[in-house]
Amino acid sequence: MDASVSEVQSAARPGLARRMATAAVMLGLVVSAFEATVVTSAMPTLTRELGGQHLYSWVFSAYLFASTVGVLLFGKLADNLGRKPVFSLGMGLFLLGSVLCGFAQSVPALIAFRVIQGLGAGALQPTTMTISADLYTLRERAAVQGVFTGAWGAANVIGPLIGGWLVMHASWRWAFLVNVPVGLIALAMLHLSYRDPARATSRVDIWGPALTGASFGLLLFALERGGSEGLRLPFAVAACVGLGAVAWQQRTSPSPIIPLELLRDRTVLSGVLGGLVGGGLLYSTTAFVPLWMTERGGYSPLMAGLALVPLLTGWACGSTFGVRVFMRGGLRASAGGGFAIALLGASLFTLGVTYGWGTAATFASLGLLGLGLGPAASTSLIGPQTRAPWQHRGMITSAMYATRMLGGSFTIAAVDLVHGGFALRFALVAAIAGVAALTLSTLAPGRVVTEASPAS
């Protein structure tokens, strides 16, 4: 019997139990995706109520950065400790962080609690996809993956709307507390319906994710405007030393985050760049557009959340047709072309902010930005998967997801450093898209290359 089939049979009881386990992990994916966007429309009100608006970007960066570390660490632990324990630990951390965020009395406390929440979300994302692979055969996974992708996209789209509605009709605190009952239901359903397949234990390298997290954390603190000016240089130097230690450790590690031979591949390198920039542009836009709309545009929190719907809908639509573009022209067409469209959308949005073009132009330009980011970011994940050997495919998938969130945390910090108004901040977003489009149009291969075929 095929090993994958026997694992499916051991992981899922037939019928109702398998459907219940599928629903459980889908809920886990939904709450982590929902939390990434629900807070965007609540943040302007939150920082006005608690004070600490100079720490605005930290609330986003801390969550995304902690999620990055969580993906890298728990994606490896799930194979050794089992999917159910890691999913339960991740959901427990996520719900604990959500409750603490809901009762936070200051922005620094909220940032600390967002780290807990982000670590949990980072554990949920790779474990959810691994459990779904355990539950279904290879032939069944394509349809199930489509359902999961749709649920993830829907959670991202409705998040800002629900966040804005909660701020207007209840309290910003419910943007965090609303996760708790859903997460508890997911935990109960998984424990009743899923059992871990037999697994072979192997050595897990936790030093790689730990050193990487510490080094990038120091660098993030050096960038963030809320940090102490006198400590920025020492933190930057310490980060450089730490990154040197990461490079040395990864050369000798039996289980590196990304095998070094893969990093020398143009498709993988292009995917890393595309993931960093795609996540950076998406998350920085969702962080600062609601702030601009409420502070400068005079819009309600609900309208600020509504402005993100075209962006996220465009992302979902772009991801769909981006795969077809990728199959015809490789990453050069899908990612390079996608970032060129994103450059156009971001530039139009910046002009609209500068000259006050109105709501319709704002929504249209954000939709165009999302339409470009969708194919650029989604195929930046698919491209490296085509080049990775089977035994490295899970590793490369986790690493590519991590690059999105890492790019988000650092781009938010960089955009927050810009002085001179929102127009200059959004101009930086457009400039980053332009640099990515130019770089990938020359670096990325112009056709689909697989593990067996050389890049050209």
The pLDDT-based confidence of 390 (bands split at 50, 70, 90) is low
Percent of the chain with pLDDT over 70: 89
Residue 9 pLDDT exceeds 70:
no
Residue 140 pLDDT exceeds 90:
no
pLDDT of residue 438: 95
State which of 22-36, 102-116, 195-209, 213-227 shows the largest mean pLDDT.
102-116
CATH 1.10.3720.10 fits 259-456, yes or no: no
Residue 423 pLDDT exceeds 50:
yes
Q: Which residue has the higher pLDDT, 417 or 136?
A: 417
pLDDT of residue 397: 76
pLDDT of residue 6: 44
What's the angle, vertex CA 186, arms to CA 180 and CA 192, rounded to 5? Answer: 135
pLDDT of residue 12: 46
Alpha carbons 125 and 111: distance in angstroms, whole number: 21
Mean pLDDT along residues 201-215: 76
Domain ranges of the chain: 1-203, 205-254, 259-456
pLDDT of residue 107: 93
pLDDT of residue 456: 44
The pTM assigned to this predicted structure is 0.85
- Each residue's pLDDT tens digit, 243-288: 888 888 878 777 777 777 778 888 889 999 999 999 999 999 999 9
pLDDT of residue 201: 59
pLDDT of residue 144: 75
pLDDT of residue 211: 84
Contact partners, residue 124, CB within 8 Å, separation at least 6: 28, 29, 31, 32, 87, 90, 91, 94
- Each residue's pLDDT tens digit, 160-192: 999 999 999 999 999 999 999 999 999 999 999
Which of 171, 34, 54 is CA-nearest to residue 104? 171
- C-alpha dist (Å) from residue 76 to 128, 187, 253, 387, 395: 13, 21, 14, 20, 8
The dotted CATH code for 1-203 is 1.20.1250.20
- Each residue's pLDDT tens digit, 24-73: 999 998 898 888 888 988 998 998 899 888 888 889 999 999 999 888 88
